[in-house]
Amino acid sequence: MDRVPISLYEFDGFYDSWIGNFPEYVQILEYAEGRTDKMHFWTPPQTRPVLFYGVVDDGTVERRKRVEGSSTYTRTVIGTPRGPVSSLSRRDEGVHTAWTIEHLCKDEEDAKRILSIPYEPWQPAVDSFFALDKELTESGIVLGDIPDALCLTVELFGLSKFLGLYMRQRKLVIEIMGFFQERICKYLRHILSSGATTLYRIVGPEYVVPPYLHPREFDRLVVKYDSDLVDLLHQYGGYARLHSHGKVRKVLHSIKEMRIDAIDPLEPPPDGDVELSEARAILGREITLIGNIEERLFEIGSRRDVEQQVRKAISEGSRGGGFILCPTAMPLTTPLPRKAQANIIHYIDCGLRYGRLSKV
């Protein structure tokens, strides 16, 4: 390719359940066809009830919904040998995501209930992987997506409660992470050995980047566990893309030691703390940088702002190694404001204009 690749991030597969129902989004997708480079999210379909990468009996998970005004609340109840645990989420009309109001684990007893869940490894068919790969042809690649053990552990409690638990009950946290690590690794090995070999996005490290915890805790909670996932991917000829929002500069040396192949979204200040030129200097030429256009630029930036940021990102990111132009996130509200739609299209145009490698 003679230009820097351009990604629309979650617009490629992640939003498939709803994005096609809204004309303002469809117009962007139609404009992007043939102009951008897809990294299309993929996970295998579930034909049996699955919980934490393990197959469970029918009735293990129960969901009860209620509507109040423009919000839908979902109570999820999980039966375990030591008693039930439950969570509560809220989804608002016009916003295509959910907020967790109550997490599954309110205390240590709830955590022990989770640990008591019997484990039958989930071994899904991967036919959909090959079908998607065939459909994409030259327009992009299939992107696998997996949480790490830290991600699943934090999401049991919520971040603030997790951090407190880690200070008081590290042994329990490590036990829970081991519980998830076994399940994730067995799942990943299965789909890789079945031929679903591609680039996988690993999600979760952002929960312990500074200032949440000291960089040495990043080594204990991320490097130790995620290195296994990276090694497993490499063993089967796959590639590892580490995903972490936040201030990652102080942990980039540790991330490099994990031998990842790519990293995103490398947020610039003030949301993050690293410029692409700094990241390149630390990570070297072997790791592909993916980023670092802030999503809010589409919503509040001017056309000139978009152009300046795209040009800067391409100039810094593509110098001395691989680079993929990509937002840090994408809008998920409907209707999409006209300004955001216009700026996303302008982002594509600027990527094409400044992404010609001979002109960077």
Same domain, 120 and 78: no
Cα-flanking dihedrals φ and ψ of residue 121, to 5°?
A: -55, 135
How sure is the predictor about 358, in pLDDT bands with cuts at 50, 70 and 90? very low
CA 4 to chain CA centroid, nearest Å: 22
Q: How many CB atoms lie within 10 A of CB 357?
A: 12
| Overall average pLDDT of the 332-339 stretch | 97
User: Is 2 contained in some domain?
Assistant: no
Q: What are the tens digits of pLDDT across the range 138-172?
A: 899 999 999 999 999 999 999 999 999 999 999 99
Residue at a domain's end among 109, 130, 145 = 109
Same domain, 103 and 170: no
User: Is 3 contained in some domain?
Assistant: no
Q: What are the tens digits of pLDDT across the range 84-138?
A: 999 999 999 999 999 999 999 999 999 999 999 999 999 999 999 999 999 999 8
Q: What are the tens digits of pLDDT across the range 107-118?
A: 999 999 999 999
Tokens describing residue 114: 């989770």
CA–CA separation, 227 vs 93, rounded Å? 39
Same domain, 353 and 331: yes
Instruction: State the residue range of the domain holding 304.
Output: 9-58+110-359
User: Is 136 contained in some domain?
Assistant: yes
Residue at a domain's end among 69, 91, 109 = 109
| Overall average pLDDT of the 39-43 stretch | 98
Q: What DSSP character marks residue 181?
A: H
| Overall average pLDDT of the 277-284 stretch | 98
Amino acid identity of residue 345, one-letter, is: I
pLDDT at 274 over 80: yes
Amino acid 160: pLDDT = 96
| Overall average pLDDT of the 337-347 stretch | 98
Residue at a domain's end among 109, 124, 147 = 109
Q: Into how many domains does the chain fold?
A: 2
Same domain, 91 and 167: no
Going through 108-206 in order, the beta strands assigned E by DSSP cover 140-147, 199-203
pLDDT at 43 over 60: yes
Same domain, 316 and 295: yes
Q: What's the burial of 342, exposed, middle or buried (CB within 10 Å: 0-12/13-18/19+)?
A: middle
Dihedral sign for Cα atoms in the order 42, 48, 50, 54: negative
Amino acid 273: pLDDT = 96
Same domain, 280 and 217: yes
User: Is 221 contained in some domain?
Assistant: yes
Same domain, 75 and 154: no
User: Is 284 contained in some domain?
Assistant: yes
User: Is 216 contained in some domain?
Assistant: yes
Same domain, 189 and 310: yes
User: Is 350 contained in some domain?
Assistant: yes
Same domain, 163 and 135: yes
Amino acid 359: pLDDT = 45
How sure is the predictor about 2, in pLDDT bands with cuts at 50, 70 and 90? confident
Q: What's the burial of 242, exposed, middle or buried (CB within 10 Å: 0-12/13-18/19+)?
A: buried
pLDDT at 72 over 70: yes
User: Is 128 contained in some domain?
Assistant: yes
pLDDT at 277 over 80: yes
Assign residue 16 the CATH number of its domain: 3.20.20.210
CA–CA separation, 238 vs 200, rounded Å? 8
Is 172 in contact with 111 (CB distance < 8 Å)? Answer: yes
Amino acid 88: pLDDT = 98
CA–CA separation, 360 vs 355, rounded Å? 7
How sure is the predictor about 82, in pLDDT bands with cuts at 50, 70 and 90? very high
Is 184 in contact with 256 (CB distance < 8 Å)? Answer: no
Same domain, 101 and 118: no
Same domain, 77 and 123: no
Q: Quick one: what percent of the chain has pLDDT higher than 90?
A: 98
Same domain, 94 and 125: no
Amino acid 96: pLDDT = 97
pLDDT at 281 over 70: yes
